[in-house]
Amino acid sequence: MNPLAAIGRAFLALLEAMGRLVLFAAAAVSHIVRPPFYPRVLLRQMVDIGYYSLPVVALTTLFSGMVLALQSHTGFARFSAEGAVAGVVSLAITRELAPVLAGLMVAGRVGASMAAELGTMRVTEQIDALSTLSTDPMKYLVAPRILAGFAMLPLLVLVGDVIGIFGGYIVGIYKLDFSPAAYIDQTWRFVEVRDVVSGLVKAAAFGFLVSLMGCYHGYRSEGGAQGVGRAATNAVVSSAILILVFNYIITELFFAK
């Protein structure tokens, strides 16, 4: 076997896969803005992504805020800078932890479920049935899911911001003996609008990516139950990787000097 040919084939396969994904994303976005619209399907997806992900996002950001307060206090105590704990917690939560952790949690919960649902619909011919019933499956299945992910993750992150900062506050007040007024004052003084906005922009991008990968892998699923399982795994893994990559890119765009 010629190793150069093998590398070439792998590279071409990668380009082909990327091209397919970009075309799928472009088709999905075009269906989002063109009628007919399916408000009932969109509402169901918004509830599924937004409301039902609340507990997992709330718990994740709460404990992240709490542990961040503990760890940063340990570090800052070495420089007698314990007063910076509230600011560090709020910056870390709003800029990074809430959007990234919420994105990863939603990828695990929603991305996998979208891939499994659409994959099952593919292998049981339900997607074909939609086409025969004068309904474009991209418009009915994919567009509402991607729009719901794009719209709901920022709301989840906003809630996560508040709960994460509250987690730091609990540890600060009850464990590290901060004064409540001083802790809240520190938080207000440190956090800028740009910190929150950057987190929300990240959340919108992550919501889009998670839904896109869930739909893409589910929609293209083949090979029965094994194929559906593979689609769910691929959706979660690719979403997680893309979240981390885009987290860096968006951070660079917002905060690079």
Partner 1 sequence: MSGPDEPKIRIRGLHKAFGAKSVLRGVDLDVGAGESVVVIGGSGTGKSVTVKCMLGLVEPDGGSILIDGAESVGLRGAAREAVNARMGMLFQGGALFDSLPVWENVAFGLVAAGQKTRGAAKPVALDSLARVGLGPEVGELMPAELSGGMQKRVALARAIAARPDIIFFDEPTTGLDPIMADVINDLIVQCVRELGATALSITHDMASARKIADRIAMLHDGRIVWSGPVSEIDESGNDFVDQFIHGRASGPIRMAVRR
Half-sphere exposure of 235 (CA within 13 A, CB side): 35
28 in Cβ contact with 139 (< 8 Å):
no
Which residue, among 231, 197, 228, has the nearest Cα to 216 in the 3D structure?
Answer: 231
- Rounded to a whole number of angstroms, the minimum distance from the CB of residue 143 to partner 1 is 14
Min dist. Cβ of residue 115 to partner 1 (A)? 15
Query: Which residue, 107 or 123, is less far from partner 1 as judged by CB?
Result: 123
- Read off the tokens for 111: 């991305």
At closest approach, how far in Å is the CB of 223 from partner 1?
11
For partner 1, the closer of residues 4 and 133 by Cβ is 133
Residue keyed to tokens 């932890």? 97
Q: Where along the sequence are the contacts to partner 1 (CB under 8 A)?
A: 120-121, 124-126, 128-129, 131-136
C-beta of 128: minimal distance to partner 1 in Å? 5
Q: Which is nearer to partner 1, 3 or 35 (CB)?
A: 35
Residue 105 or 142 having the CB closest to partner 1: 142
Q: Smallest distance, Å, CB 114 to partner 1?
A: 13
CA nearest 156: which of 207, 81, 208? 207
Taking the CA atoms of residue 236, residue 147, residue 52 and residue 195 in that order, the dihedral angle to the nearest 10 degrees is 80
Looking at the Cβ atoms of 73 and 145, the one nearer to partner 1 is: 145
| Inter-residue contact 176 to 161 (CB < 8 Å) | no
